[in-house]
Amino acid sequence: MRKYTLYFGILFIFALLLTGCDFNKSFKDQAYTQIKGEGKLVDGRYQYTLPSYNDEGKQITVTFGKPTGEKFKEDAYLRLYLKSKDGEKVVTSYEEVQKNDLPTKVKEKLQVP
């Protein structure tokens, strides 16, 4: 029994190292959006409510902002990492991507040239 516990522990640590210990991105749904507008100032943070699209082109409207309270760069493309909470999609993390990295259906929906 101790062997199995040891093996499981080693496997768990190995899995953490592989994912970079970034639980906000691991096993999450992804969607893409483009920053349009300045956002709305709420409690000292700029919040954006924008349509985003998953890999298949399905629209999901999400609200998110930077934890630092800064604005996003206008027209930037973001990959959003989402989790479901109380029936809504919540952004757990994000990263800026280039338009070449966007899936084809997302490019169509965002009307990327």
Per-residue pLDDT of the chain (113 residues; tens, 9 = 90+): 777 787 777 887 777 666 555 555 555 789 999 999 888 988 888 999 999 999 999 999 999 998 888 899 999 999 999 988 888 888 888 999 999 999 999 999 999 88
Q: What is the reported pLDDT for 19?
A: 58
Q: How many angstroms separate the Cα of 108 from the Cα of each of 1, 50, 55, 71, 102?
A: 54, 16, 11, 26, 10
Domain boundary assignment for the chain: 23-110
Phi and psi for 16 in degrees, rounded to 5? -60, -40
Mode of pairing for the β-strands spanning 77-85 and 88-97: antiparallel
pTM for the model: 0.75
CATH number for the domain running over 23-110: 2.40.50.480
